Chain A
Amino acid sequence: MSTKKKKFSFPYTTGILIIAIIMLFLPLILLNFIDFKVIESNPFIFKIIILISTLLSASGFIYCTIGFHHKIVSGDELKFRIHLEALNIAFTTTLVFLFALIFIFINFQPTLLNYLILIVAIIAIVAYLIGVEIVKRKYR
Protein backbone atom coordinates (compact mmCIF):
# COMPACT_ATOMS: atom_id res chain seq x y z
CA MET A 1 0.00 0.00 0.00
CA SER A 2 1.44 3.33 -1.02
CA THR A 3 0.91 6.40 1.13
CA LYS A 4 1.03 9.82 -0.48
CA LYS A 5 2.99 12.39 1.49
CA LYS A 6 1.60 15.91 1.42
CA LYS A 7 4.36 18.24 0.25
CA PHE A 8 5.06 21.38 2.27
CA SER A 9 4.41 24.32 -0.07
CA PHE A 10 6.12 27.16 1.88
CA PRO A 11 3.13 29.46 2.45
CA TYR A 12 3.21 33.19 3.39
CA THR A 13 6.64 33.79 1.76
CA THR A 14 5.88 37.42 0.85
CA GLY A 15 4.63 38.28 4.33
CA ILE A 16 7.59 36.57 5.99
CA LEU A 17 9.97 38.41 3.63
CA ILE A 18 8.51 41.77 4.68
CA ILE A 19 8.78 40.83 8.39
CA ALA A 20 12.39 39.67 7.84
CA ILE A 21 13.30 43.03 6.25
CA ILE A 22 11.66 44.91 9.16
CA MET A 23 13.53 42.70 11.66
CA LEU A 24 16.80 43.39 9.84
CA PHE A 25 16.40 47.14 10.31
CA LEU A 26 14.69 46.96 13.72
CA PRO A 27 17.85 47.82 15.76
CA LEU A 28 18.43 50.89 13.57
CA ILE A 29 14.79 51.96 13.99
CA LEU A 30 14.95 51.41 17.77
CA LEU A 31 18.12 53.51 18.04
CA ASN A 32 16.11 56.55 16.92
CA PHE A 33 13.55 56.08 19.69
CA ILE A 34 15.58 54.80 22.63
CA ASP A 35 17.72 57.27 24.53
CA PHE A 36 21.45 56.49 24.20
CA LYS A 37 21.86 56.71 28.01
CA VAL A 38 19.42 53.84 28.46
CA ILE A 39 21.47 51.69 26.08
CA GLU A 40 24.72 52.63 27.85
CA SER A 41 23.34 51.84 31.29
CA ASN A 42 21.91 48.49 30.22
CA PRO A 43 23.67 47.24 27.06
CA PHE A 44 22.62 43.63 27.65
CA ILE A 45 18.98 44.29 26.76
CA PHE A 46 19.95 46.03 23.54
CA LYS A 47 22.28 43.17 22.63
CA ILE A 48 19.44 40.71 23.19
CA ILE A 49 17.12 42.80 20.98
CA ILE A 50 19.76 42.83 18.20
CA LEU A 51 20.36 39.10 18.60
CA ILE A 52 16.67 38.14 18.45
CA SER A 53 15.83 40.46 15.57
CA THR A 54 18.87 39.30 13.55
CA LEU A 55 18.03 35.67 14.26
CA LEU A 56 14.40 36.17 13.17
CA SER A 57 15.54 38.07 10.09
CA ALA A 58 18.05 35.38 9.09
CA SER A 59 15.45 32.62 9.63
CA GLY A 60 12.94 34.59 7.54
CA PHE A 61 15.38 35.08 4.67
CA ILE A 62 16.36 31.38 4.71
CA TYR A 63 12.66 30.35 4.69
CA CYS A 64 11.91 32.72 1.78
CA THR A 65 14.95 31.60 -0.23
CA ILE A 66 13.99 27.93 0.10
CA GLY A 67 10.32 28.80 -0.50
CA PHE A 68 10.94 30.77 -3.71
CA HIS A 69 13.33 28.06 -4.93
CA HIS A 70 10.68 25.39 -4.24
CA LYS A 71 8.03 27.42 -6.10
CA ILE A 72 10.26 27.84 -9.16
CA VAL A 73 11.35 24.19 -9.22
CA SER A 74 7.80 22.85 -8.95
CA GLY A 75 6.31 25.48 -11.26
CA ASP A 76 6.41 26.21 -14.98
CA GLU A 77 9.40 24.64 -16.78
CA LEU A 78 10.17 27.66 -19.00
CA LYS A 79 10.34 29.89 -15.91
CA PHE A 80 12.66 27.36 -14.28
CA ARG A 81 14.88 27.40 -17.40
CA ILE A 82 14.95 31.23 -17.36
CA HIS A 83 15.82 31.12 -13.64
CA LEU A 84 18.71 28.68 -14.25
CA GLU A 85 20.15 30.65 -17.18
CA ALA A 86 19.87 33.92 -15.21
CA LEU A 87 21.63 32.26 -12.27
CA ASN A 88 24.39 31.18 -14.64
CA ILE A 89 24.85 34.76 -15.84
CA ALA A 90 24.75 36.09 -12.26
CA PHE A 91 27.29 33.55 -11.03
CA THR A 92 29.79 34.27 -13.83
CA THR A 93 29.40 38.03 -13.44
CA THR A 94 29.83 37.80 -9.67
CA LEU A 95 32.96 35.67 -10.00
CA VAL A 96 34.54 38.10 -12.50
CA PHE A 97 33.68 41.09 -10.29
CA LEU A 98 34.93 39.28 -7.18
CA PHE A 99 38.42 38.73 -8.61
CA ALA A 100 38.54 42.22 -10.16
CA LEU A 101 37.42 43.89 -6.91
CA ILE A 102 39.86 41.88 -4.78
CA PHE A 103 42.70 42.99 -7.07
CA ILE A 104 41.59 46.64 -7.05
CA PHE A 105 40.86 46.81 -3.31
CA ILE A 106 44.08 45.06 -2.21
CA ASN A 107 46.25 47.33 -4.35
CA PHE A 108 44.45 50.65 -4.09
CA GLN A 109 41.82 50.67 -1.31
CA PRO A 110 42.35 47.94 1.35
CA THR A 111 39.71 49.41 3.70
CA LEU A 112 36.98 48.60 1.18
CA LEU A 113 37.74 44.88 1.62
CA ASN A 114 35.47 45.04 4.70
CA TYR A 115 32.52 45.69 2.39
CA LEU A 116 33.48 43.09 -0.23
CA ILE A 117 30.71 40.61 0.66
CA LEU A 118 28.08 43.37 0.62
CA ILE A 119 29.30 44.73 -2.74
CA VAL A 120 29.46 41.25 -4.28
CA ALA A 121 25.95 40.40 -2.95
CA ILE A 122 24.51 43.56 -4.55
CA ILE A 123 26.31 42.78 -7.83
CA ALA A 124 24.89 39.22 -7.77
CA ILE A 125 21.30 40.43 -7.24
CA VAL A 126 21.56 43.09 -9.97
CA ALA A 127 23.22 40.60 -12.38
CA TYR A 128 20.42 38.07 -11.72
CA LEU A 129 17.68 40.64 -12.41
CA ILE A 130 19.39 41.82 -15.62
CA GLY A 131 20.05 38.17 -16.55
CA VAL A 132 16.33 37.32 -16.22
CA GLU A 133 15.42 40.17 -18.60
CA ILE A 134 18.08 39.11 -21.14
CA VAL A 135 17.03 35.44 -21.07
CA LYS A 136 13.31 36.33 -21.23
CA ARG A 137 14.00 38.21 -24.48
CA LYS A 138 15.57 35.05 -25.93
CA TYR A 139 12.39 33.01 -25.43
CA ARG A 140 9.90 35.75 -26.38
Chain B
Amino acid sequence: MKNILHILRAEKRYSQDDLAKLVDVSRQTINAIEREKYDPSLPLALKIAKVFNKKVEEIFFLEEV
Protein backbone atom coordinates (compact mmCIF):
# COMPACT_ATOMS: atom_id res chain seq x y z
CA MET B 1 0.00 0.00 0.00
CA LYS B 2 1.28 3.44 -0.99
CA ASN B 3 1.02 6.57 1.15
CA ILE B 4 1.93 10.25 1.18
CA LEU B 5 2.58 10.39 4.90
CA HIS B 6 6.11 11.80 4.60
CA ILE B 7 4.82 14.67 2.39
CA LEU B 8 2.02 15.55 4.82
CA ARG B 9 4.41 15.34 7.73
CA ALA B 10 6.89 17.66 5.99
CA GLU B 11 4.09 20.15 5.22
CA LYS B 12 3.10 20.29 8.88
CA ARG B 13 6.79 20.25 9.91
CA TYR B 14 6.28 17.31 12.24
CA SER B 15 9.13 14.98 13.03
CA GLN B 16 8.47 11.22 13.03
CA ASP B 17 8.65 11.38 16.80
CA ASP B 18 6.06 14.19 16.99
CA LEU B 19 3.60 12.26 14.82
CA ALA B 20 4.26 9.06 16.76
CA LYS B 21 3.37 10.83 20.02
CA LEU B 22 0.21 12.32 18.48
CA VAL B 23 -1.12 8.92 17.36
CA ASP B 24 0.26 6.99 20.36
CA VAL B 25 2.69 4.61 18.61
CA SER B 26 6.48 4.30 18.43
CA ARG B 27 8.68 6.29 16.02
CA GLN B 28 9.70 2.97 14.43
CA THR B 29 6.05 2.34 13.48
CA ILE B 30 5.79 5.71 11.69
CA ASN B 31 9.12 5.03 9.95
CA ALA B 32 7.96 1.58 8.79
CA ILE B 33 4.68 3.04 7.47
CA GLU B 34 6.48 5.83 5.57
CA ARG B 35 8.91 3.36 4.01
CA GLU B 36 5.88 1.22 3.00
CA LYS B 37 7.21 -1.77 4.89
CA TYR B 38 4.20 -1.93 7.19
CA ASP B 39 0.50 -1.29 6.57
CA PRO B 40 -1.14 0.39 9.59
CA SER B 41 -4.25 -0.98 11.26
CA LEU B 42 -7.54 0.77 10.48
CA PRO B 43 -7.70 2.56 13.88
CA LEU B 44 -4.15 3.87 13.38
CA ALA B 45 -4.88 4.96 9.79
CA LEU B 46 -7.96 6.83 11.07
CA LYS B 47 -5.91 8.49 13.82
CA ILE B 48 -3.29 9.62 11.28
CA ALA B 49 -6.01 10.93 8.95
CA LYS B 50 -7.52 12.89 11.85
CA VAL B 51 -4.16 14.49 12.69
CA PHE B 52 -3.80 15.76 9.09
CA ASN B 53 -7.53 16.55 8.78
CA LYS B 54 -7.87 14.36 5.68
CA LYS B 55 -9.71 11.21 4.64
CA VAL B 56 -7.91 7.88 5.01
CA GLU B 57 -8.03 7.22 1.25
CA GLU B 58 -6.32 10.57 0.60
CA ILE B 59 -3.30 9.42 2.59
CA PHE B 60 -3.26 5.65 1.96
CA PHE B 61 -4.06 4.13 -1.42
CA LEU B 62 -3.45 0.98 -3.42
CA GLU B 63 -0.62 0.88 -5.92
CA GLU B 64 -2.00 1.62 -9.40
CA VAL B 65 -1.36 -1.12 -11.97
Contacts of B25 in A (CB 8 A): 76-78
CB pair A76 B26 closer than 8 Å: yes
The reply on A138 being an interface residue by CB < 8 A is yes
Distance in angstroms from B36 CB to nearest chain A CB is 11
The reply on A139 being an interface residue by CB < 8 A is yes
CB pair A81 B38 closer than 8 Å: yes
Residue ranges of B at the interface with A (Cβ–Cβ < 8 Å): 25-26, 28-29, 32, 37-38, 40-41, 44
The reply on A79 being an interface residue by CB < 8 A is yes
Q: How far apart are the CA atoms of A78 and B44 in the complex, in Å?
A: 11
CB pair A77 B37 closer than 8 Å: no
Distance in angstroms from A74 CB to nearest chain B CB is 11
**Looking at A78, A138, A140, which has the most chain B CB atoms within 10 Å of its CB?**
A78
Q: How far apart are the CA atoms of A78 and B41 in the complex, in Å?
A: 10
Contacts of B26 in A (CB 8 A): 76, 78-79
Contacts of A76 in B (CB 8 A): 25-26, 28-29
Distance in angstroms from B43 CB to nearest chain A CB is 9
Distance in angstroms from B58 CB to nearest chain A CB is 21
What residue in chain B is nearest A75 (Cβ atoms)? B26
Q: State which residues 65-111 of A face B: CB under 8 Å.
A: 76-79, 81
